[in-house]
């Protein structure tokens, strides 16, 4: 007999805590419809349906990895409002606003998915009708609080204006009334009774002002009276208010008709948004807990879960295990001591198989799960919050039902098979049931303490024997799954840890030895040898993992250093290019200024030349220590073929006199050198022999004016004699006396054709170019 979904849901909840895991996932949903869909999720009927659901989750996880936020804000369950509109009922302002917010959320999700690389999610979003005219209509007439806007229609706007005008007249009338009758009033303020403006008057004066009386105070000493002068205005306000409410009702009715016309599209959009939010909730849960989308295998038996972790266990302390069954294995048989994790292992595998069939991700690094048409669970321990039936009769009745309905497409989970009755009979039943289920090619997971059952598992190639690791020294479980090794119960050791009397333990051990068969002793010896081999294997594995870890750390450090060096090189090159470009622009600006201003004053030209020379400062590749220099030192300017004497030092900048010009230079660009030994030139110059080469430059720096002029005259004579057409006279800047004297003298030289100041690269104003006739 086929089980109903309700029966399956109860069985899953009791056996594998399915409902608690669904509640955990539903906590990531954005609105009630998707939460309800997750909480009621059950395994799907077809492999194609499962694949479609898992594909949506896979794309959702990729969006989470890329930090693409799919915003469902504004989504709500609008089914009641749509149903009421279809029945031609008038929706309220908040209901209409909820429809608008829902459609705005649809537009947001549609826009986000349209711009993302999620083809299946986008295909779903593209199928929605965004009902833009309906959104505009509601948005124009209903505000964010769900109230009809004052200007929703021309009539409504006029009525609100009229209402405000009448109200202002009423307030003016009330102020005048209070001012003229203050002695007869209990309070000089107005109050509102049933929407009508009133005043509080003394009891003896309640009928003095005409109008109406609306009641008395608690003491009976005062009455709420509406004077005759108030009545007309109050009546008018009430009439206008009724007209306003009627107009609002008309507007809501008109909008409700539009909702009714779009009802089918709205319900379809709600279903689509539920699918999308459900998929994104699953994706957010899996991404947050480092899960994966399982690969659902069809027509294959391979079961593989790498680093599986139960979602209800503490993520900081849970032990990740890898479970696998190959194509030729039909059964996984887990043994080991009580409280060692056997049931948790069965629940984890059963839960992940169920989640995968319901289209959910699982908490594994990788998962391959066959497609099963039916899932069966029999777990009767005390670890479930709600105790299920645990008597042998209930246990065996469930197993009988499984045997009647299972086939090669069934997944069966049996905890402590054969328990609750005589051990010998229970073991026999367990072996017979496992044989029957495997003969029908079911996939079976079971746990056992029986030696006979473990011995059967060791001899049948269709069974993978496994155990949960137990530390024999500390007598504590490690919760690690060990395939290929059957586990001992450690019952005597655990009993000793809980201080059972030694005499009882000795008697129990003797009784066991007396009654143990040779096959059981051999199994125990084999289990001991298997555990020793496994411990050695684990030690080697730990050493190998440690070596790999050290290697990975070293490689990671090397890659980090290489990346840091690349970043530093790129940043330095970029900054260097920027600085060079900036200096080129400044130099171009100065040159353009000098070209435009031919008649610039002397000191302005000097400043521009200083700026241009300063731009020639090289950009240091690395910060260097400031040289220890002092005033009076003779230095070389780094990057320039110039030298001079330091005349002043302020902070990290020195003033250097170079060829009579004073230049401010950074200290790290100066290098101390030997002061040159300048010989004073003889005042009498002899004509150079035609065999010697005529120098094209005369340096007068360091000479007095008279001495320099004599040297200049002799030099010009020699230049004329050697037929030189152009020479350069270096006189420096200084105070300008020597320069002016040189220019005056050259103007009176008959052999001089033209004199001009040298260019920036030839000494600037510190030198003169002389063209001879």
**How do 196-202 and 185-193 pair as beta strands?**
antiparallel
Mean pLDDT to the nearest integer, 282-293: 95
Q: Using a pLDDT cut of 70, give the percent of the chain over it.
A: 82
Q: Is the pTM of this model over 0.85?
A: no
| pLDDT value of position 27 | 95
Q: Which CATH architecture has domain 602-672?
A: Roll (2.30)
| Confidence (pLDDT) at 121 | 95
Among 440-444, 467-471, 711-715, name the one with the lowest average pLDDT. Answer: 467-471
Class of the CATH domain delimited by 5-131+262-288: mainly alpha
| Beta carbons of 703 and 711 less than 8 angstroms apart | yes
Residue 414 pLDDT exceeds 70: yes
Percent of residues, the chain, with pLDDT higher than 90: 40
Which whole number is the average pLDDT over 40-69?
94
Interatomic CA distance for residues 492 and 505, integer angstroms? 7
Q: Which residues are annotated as a binding site?
A: 336-343
Give me the pLDDT at residue 622, please.
Answer: 47
pLDDT digits (tens, 9 = 90+) for 55-73: 999 999 999 999 999 999 9
Most trustworthy range by pLDDT among 370-384, 490-504, 593-607, 661-675? 661-675
The strand order across the sheet containing 443-447 reads 374-378, 410-414, 443-447, 331-335, 463-471, 476-483
Residue 123's pLDDT band (boundaries 50, 70, 90)?
very high
Of the two residues 524 and 723, the one the predictor is more confident about is: 723
Picking from 23-27, 83-87, 716-720, which range would have the lowest pLDDT averaged per residue?
716-720
Give me 309's structure tokens: 């972790």
Return phi, psi of residue 660, to 5°: 85, -5
> Mean pLDDT across the stretch 408-426?
82
Over residues 271-283, mean pLDDT: 96
> 295-498: which CATH number, 3.40.720.10, 3.90.25.10, 1.10.150.20, 3.40.50.300?
3.40.50.300
Mean pLDDT on 420-430: 78
Tell me what the pLDDT averaged over the chain comes to: 83
**Each residue's pLDDT tens digit, 143-189:** 999 999 999 999 999 999 999 999 999 999 999 999 888 888 888 88
Q: What pLDDT score was predicted for residue 688?
A: 40
Burial class of 717 by CB neighbour count within 10 A (0 to 12, 13 to 18, 19+): middle
Count of alpha carbons within 13 Å of 723, Cβ hemisphere only?
A: 1
Whether residue 472 has pLDDT greater than 60: no
Q: What is the pLDDT of residue 96?
A: 96
Average pLDDT over residues 291-304: 87
Q: How confident is the model over 363-373, as a mean pLDDT?
A: 94
**pLDDT number for residue 182:** 84
Q: Which of 460, 464, 435 is nearest to 332 (CA)?
A: 464
User: 629 versus 442: which is more confidently predicted?
Assistant: 442
Q: For 563-590, how does the pLDDT look when each residue is reduced to its tens digit (9 = 90+)?
A: 888 888 788 777 777 777 777 777 777 7
DSSP string, 595-630: HH-TT--HHHHHHHHHHHHHTT----SS--PPP---
pLDDT surpassing 80 at residue 718: yes
- Structure-model confidence comparison of residues 591 and 345, the more confident one: 345
* Domain ranges within the chain, ordered by starting residue: 5-131+262-288, 154-234, 295-498, 516-587, 602-672, 697-772
pLDDT at residue 553, rounded to an integer: 86
Residues placed in the known binding site for ATP: 336-343
pLDDT at 596 over 70: no
Question: Which region among 188-202, 433-447, 468-482 has the lowest average model confidence (pLDDT)?
Answer: 468-482
> What is the CATH topology of the domain spanning 697-772?
Ribosomal Protein S8; Chain: A, domain 1 (3.30.1370)
Give the residue with greater pLDDT, 742 vs 79: 79
């Amino acid at each position: 007999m086929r089980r109903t979904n309700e029966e399956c849901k109860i069985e899953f909840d009791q056996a594998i805590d399915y409902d608690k895991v669904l509640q955990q996932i539903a906590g990531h949903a954005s609105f009630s419809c998707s939460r309800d869909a997750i909480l009621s999720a059950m395994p799907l009927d077809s492999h194609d349906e499962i694949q479609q659901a898992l594909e949506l989750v896979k794309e959702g996880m990729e969006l989470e990895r890329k930090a693409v936020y799919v915003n469902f804000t504004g989504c709500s369950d609008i089914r009641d409002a749509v149903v009421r509109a279809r029945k031609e009922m008038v929706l309220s302002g908040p209901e209409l606003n909820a429809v608008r917010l829902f459609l705005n959320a649809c537009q947001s999700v549609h826009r986000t998915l349209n711009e993302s690389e999620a083809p299946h999610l986008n295909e779903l979003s593209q199928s929605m009708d965004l009902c833009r005219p309906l959104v505009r209509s509601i948005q124009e007439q209903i505000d964010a609080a769900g109230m009809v806007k004052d200007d929703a229609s021309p009539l409504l706007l006029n009525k609100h204006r009229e209402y405000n005008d009448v109200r202002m007249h009423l307030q003016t009338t009330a102020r005048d009334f209070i001012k003229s009758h203050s002695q007869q009033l209990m309070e000089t303020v107005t109050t509102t009774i049933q929407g009508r403006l009133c005043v509080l008057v003394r009891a003896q004066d309640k009928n003095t002002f005409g109008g109406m009386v609306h009641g008395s105070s608690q003491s009976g000493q005062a009455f709420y009276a509406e004077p005759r002068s108030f009545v007309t205005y109050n009546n008018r306000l009430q009439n206008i208010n009724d007209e306003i409410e009627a107009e609002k009702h008309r507007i809501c009715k008109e909008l409700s008709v539009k909702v009714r016309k779009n009802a089918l599209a709205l319900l379809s959009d709600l279903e689509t948004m539920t699918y999308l939010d459900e998929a994104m909730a699953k994706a957010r849960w899996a991404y947050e807990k480092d899960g994966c989308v399982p690969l659902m295998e069809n027509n294959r038996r391979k079961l593989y879960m790498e680093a599986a972790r139960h979602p209800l266990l503490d993520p900081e302390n849970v032990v990740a295990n890898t479970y696998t069954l190959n194509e030729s294995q039909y059964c996984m048989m887990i043994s080991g001591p009580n409280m060692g994790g056997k049931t948790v292992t069965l629940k984890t595998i059963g839960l992940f198989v169920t989640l995968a069939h319901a289209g959910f991700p699982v908490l594994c690094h990788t998962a391959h799960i066959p497609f099963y048409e039916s899932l069966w669970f029999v777990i009767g321990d005390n670890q479930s919050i709600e105790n299920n039936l645990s008597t042998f009769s209930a246990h065996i009745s469930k197993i009988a039902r499984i045997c009647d309905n299972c086939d090669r497409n069934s997944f069966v989970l049996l905890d402590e098979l054969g328990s609750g009755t005589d051990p010998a009979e229970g073991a026999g039943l367990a072996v017979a049931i496992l044989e029957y289920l495997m003969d029908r090619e079911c996939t079976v997971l079971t746990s056992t303490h029986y030696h006979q059952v473990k011995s059967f598992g060791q001899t049948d190639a269709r069974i993978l024997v496994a155990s949960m690791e137990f530390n024999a020294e500390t007598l504590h479980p490690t919760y690690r799954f060990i395939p290929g090794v059957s586990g001992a119960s450690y019952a005597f050791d655990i009993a000793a840890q809980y201080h059972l009397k030694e005499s009882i333990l000795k008697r129990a051990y003797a009784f066991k030895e007396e009654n143990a068969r040779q096959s059981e002793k051999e199994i125990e010896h084999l289990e001991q040898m298997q555990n020793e081999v496994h411990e050695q294997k684990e030690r080697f594995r730990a050493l190998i993992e440690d070596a790999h870890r050290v290697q990975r750390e070293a490689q990671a450090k090397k890659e980090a250093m290489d990346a840091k060096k690349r970043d530093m090189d790129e940043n330095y090159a970029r900054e260097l290019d920027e600085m060079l470009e900036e200096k080129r622009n400044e130099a171009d600006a100065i040159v353009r200024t000098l070209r435009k201003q031919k008649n610039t004053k002397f000191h302005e030209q000097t400043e521009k030349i200083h700026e241009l020379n300063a731009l020639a400062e090289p950009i240091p590749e690395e910060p260097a220590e400031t040289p220890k220099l002092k005033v009076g030192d003779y230095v070389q300017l780094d990057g320039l073929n110039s030298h001079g004497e330091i005349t002043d030092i302020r902070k990290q900048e020195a003033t250097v006199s170079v060829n009579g010009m004073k230049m401010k230079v950074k200290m790290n660009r100066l290098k101390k050198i030997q002061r040159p030994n300048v010989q004073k030139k003889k005042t009498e110059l002899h004509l150079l022999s035609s065999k010697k080469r005529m120098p094209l430059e005369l340096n007068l720096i360091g000479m007095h004016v008279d001495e320099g002029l004599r040297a200049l005259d002799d030099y010009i004579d020699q230049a004329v004699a050697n037929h030189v057409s152009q020479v350069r006279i270096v006189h420096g800047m200084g105070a300008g006396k020597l320069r002016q004297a040189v220019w005056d003298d050259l103007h009176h030289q008959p052999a001089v054709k033209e004199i001009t100041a040298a260019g920036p690269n030839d000494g600037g104003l510190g030198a003169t170019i002389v063209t001879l006739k």
